[in-house]
Amino acid sequence: MLPLPELTRENTPFWTAGERGELVIVFCDDCTHAIHPPQLLCPACQSRNVGPRAVPGTGKIYTFTVNHQPWIPGMDVPFVLAVVDVDGAPGVRVTARLAGCDPEDVRIEQGVRIGFAQSGDVWLPHWHLVAGATA
């Protein structure tokens, strides 16, 4: 069983917006800087006027790895872990578990789309390859 994220004031929007099928990223309302991991103040302009906004829920694979080692009991392997550049949030990357794909098919720069599955009080994102979106 993987640990779930410990919910905080900063990260709760990210881990719960999946209930609405949304990926939310915190932005600064004063300078538009995208802030991830989320913070209570903008690292660029120090504004406290920051908050979560929905982004399209798509992105592009910056890099990935195929994990083959079962690190904990019951872990199904192999699976793909990607780092995804998030559309609509410049400079933001998220760690992304890919679902429903053959690890052999994954490439850098491929397009991905988010989905969610509820686990306890959070909605864990997983990502799917977008057919035909390879750059």
Rounded Cα distance between 6 and 63, Å, is 26
Residue 6 or 132 having the CB closest to other proteins? 6
CB of 122 to other proteins, least distance (A): 8
Sites of contact with other proteins (CB under 8 A): 2-6, 8, 11, 36-37, 62-69, 71-72, 75, 78-79, 81, 83, 91, 93-97, 103, 108, 122, 124-126
Beta carbon nearer to other proteins, 1 or 131: 1
Instruction: Confirm if 92 and 109 have CB atoms less than 8 A apart.
Output: no
Dist CA 115 CA 34 (whole Å): 21
CB 63 within 8 A of CB 74: no
